[in-house]
Structure 1
Amino acid sequence: MKSATFPPFFFFLLYLFILLISLYCILLLLFALYIHSLTCIYTAHSKPDGTPGIHKFTAMGLLDGRRIDYYDSESERKVPKQEWMRECLSAEYWGKGTQEQWLESLMNRMRQNDSVVHVLQGMRGCEGKMQPDGTLKFHRAMHTYAYDGHNLLSFDSKTKSWIAAIREAQLTMREWDSDQAMKERIKGYLENVCIKWKKQLQKARIYLVHIIFLSPAPPVVYVFAKKAKVETNLILTCLATGFYTKDIIVRIKRNGRVLAKDDGLMSSGGLPNGDDTFQRRDHVEILKSDLSTFICNVTHEATNISVKKLWGKELCCFSFVSFLSLD
């Protein structure tokens, strides 16, 4: 009695089925291991030294490492750093601010004054691990302080206890460890509220970015000139920014001829702006004495828009050249 035989095509289908199942399992595993984070980083200075951008207190929120909002003690208002953040949160949220209050008491405990600048830094947030069913599960909490660049205190949400990194922080550690209500609030925020915020912001970002802000956006085009290292030369730059999708065509023309790498043309290629749009910067070095007509021609196929910008004629007289639109 002959044993049953199967055609080669059967084994091909079986192999393909096993391969697809294996790939699916790998994707599920990778998806499950994908970590999302929501953190707030804040910095307090005992005495700002007048450096621009340095304030007595600053704070910023980060979603998956990307800055989403900012606050400082001078403006006393939260500012969205992503347009979708402005859309998904109320005006009441942006009017609120918070400041770290215990830097002065910390300096007193360390018997320090403000003759030199002291800096207190903090980070508070959570990480969630994406599950195969699309839910976000709490993974890890972060609540730490550093003082003058050295680790100071950290909170362990598992044991609901504070850990002092240096001897000077032990008194604060004992005081905070004795406040059970405060520790419960911190644990509740890190393991529950923070994760819920992360879910809401992630959903809002996915919806608003892909439905509203990632619809094709036209480029804004600037042209300018600046002095080159060689005294007799100028660098002409064409900047296209704020566009989506990434694909864009930028051409710099001299008397109608498109310049190429052989002419010294350099391009940054498409670069992210940090708000889900892109930019591209092309430049070429020319002689100041060159009286040719230079035009930047930008074409963005996603929006079917073409923009032309003309450099001014007297390039030798300007370090920054205004532009004319030929649209």
Structure 2
Amino acid sequence: MHILLLFTAEKHSLYYIYTALSKPVDLPGIYQFTAMGLLDNIQIDYYNSVEQKKIPKQTWMKEKMQEDYWEKGTQSRKSKEQWFNVNVDILMKRMRHSESAVHVLQWRTGCEIEKQGDEVKFSTGISEYGYDGENFLSFDIKESQWIALVDAALPSKRKWDSVPILNQYTKGYLEKECVDWLKKFTEYVDKQLEHKLFTNCKCE
């Protein structure tokens, strides 16, 4: 008798979402700038423009990642906050939008993999910008260039595509660095689950 074991591929994703408002709003829990990391759609870290500190949102992140990871992450998010503040203002002027209204600039970047046993296969990488809830710019990972999804995005596309090394970096991050972090994080989650199962086991 032959038993055929079929292992379905596990799918995992790691995304970072950055959201900037054109001006502060007086609402609880709403900040002018926020950033968060999502592993398989579960929040793993968080930053906002008031506390200005990247913090872990999962126990394993707090336990596994060293202090310098959080320090470097905080500096990176502060830099991105400044970049977003400048660029949301640029877009408002380009699109002749009123400063009295609140406008939103958002960036989603990350990758997805398929894992079967020890084999990890890159599935997709995404870097895309949205403005006021509409798609604005998207990175074409195969062609290593930006796609302007509205006419107002053409100046940004031309400017970014004129520096090929930056597009190469974006492609490299999505296909390699992001995947490396994703593999590391999923390993930490797996180990945490194994530890919970072991400690909860009442085997004699």
**Structure 1 length as normaliser, TM-score?**
0.56
In terms of Rg, which structure is larger? Answer: 1
- Which of 161, 165, 176 pairs up with 1:181? 165
How many residue pairs end up in the alignment?
A: 193
- Does structure 1 retain, via aligned residues, the 8 Å contact 2:13–2:111? yes
- Does structure 2 retain, via aligned residues, the 8 Å contact 1:38–1:194? yes
- Does structure 1 retain, via aligned residues, the 8 Å contact 2:21–2:103? yes
Q: Determine the structure 1 residue equivalent to 2:118.
A: 134
The offset of 1:113, in angstroms, is: 4.3
DSSP 3-state at the match of 2:170 = helix
Structure with the higher fraction of residues in helix conformation: 2
Q: How does 1:28-67 map onto structure 2 within 5 Å? A: 28=7, 30-31=8-9, 34-67=10-43
- Which of 193, 196, 199 pairs up with 2:177? 193
Q: Determine the structure 1 residue equivalent to 2:102.
A: 117
- Does structure 2 retain, via aligned residues, the 8 Å contact 1:84–1:209? no
Structure 1 unaligned spans of 5+: 1-12, 217-244, 246-301, 303-327
Q: How does 1:1-327 map onto structure 2 within 5 Å? A: 13=1, 17=2, 20-21=3-4, 24=5, 27-28=6-7, 30-31=8-9, 34-95=10-71, 96-97=73-74, 98=77, 99-100=80-81, 101=83, 102-131=87-116, 133-211=117-195, 215-216=199-200
Moved more, 133-142 or 145-154: 133-142
The offset of 1:108, in angstroms, is: 2.3
C-alpha separation between the residues in 2 aligned to 1:205 and 1:43? 27
Assess, with a 3 A threshold, how the Cα gap between structure 1 residues 124 and 44 changes in structure 2: closer, same or farther: same
For residues 82-132 of structure 1, the C-alpha deviation after alignment (integer angstroms, 9 at most, x for no partner) is 10010111112223321241222222222334211000111000001113x
- Does structure 2 retain, via aligned residues, the 8 Å contact 1:42–1:60? yes
Structure with the higher fraction of residues in strand conformation: 1
The offset of 1:212, in angstroms, is: 5.9
C-alpha separation between the residues in 1 aligned to 2:61 and 2:41? 15
DSSP 3-state at the match of 1:39 = strand
Structure 2 unaligned spans of 5+: none
DSSP 3-state at the match of 1:171 = helix
C-alpha separation between the residues in 2 aligned to 1:103 and 1:87? 36
DSSP 3-state at the match of 1:158 = coil
- Does structure 1 retain, via aligned residues, the 8 Å contact 2:31–2:49? yes
DSSP 3-state at the match of 1:193 = helix
Amino acid at match of 2:114: K
- Does structure 1 retain, via aligned residues, the 8 Å contact 2:45–2:54? yes
- Does structure 2 retain, via aligned residues, the 8 Å contact 1:85–1:205? no
C-alpha separation between the residues in 2 aligned to 1:163 and 1:59? 24
The offset of 1:63, in angstroms, is: 0.6
Q: For CA contacts below 8 A with separation 6 or more, give which structure has more relative contact order.
A: 2
- Does structure 1 retain, via aligned residues, the 8 Å contact 2:25–2:32? no
C-alpha separation between the residues in 1 aligned to 2:172 and 2:160? 16
For residues 37-61 of structure 1, the C-alpha deviation after alignment (integer angstroms, 9 at most, x for no partner) is 1000110001121111111110110
Amino acid at match of 1:195: V
- Does structure 2 retain, via aligned residues, the 8 Å contact 1:143–1:154? yes
Assess, with a 3 A threshold, how the Cα gap between structure 1 residues 195 and 161 changes in structure 2: closer, same or farther: same
C-alpha separation between the residues in 2 aligned to 1:118 and 1:214? 49
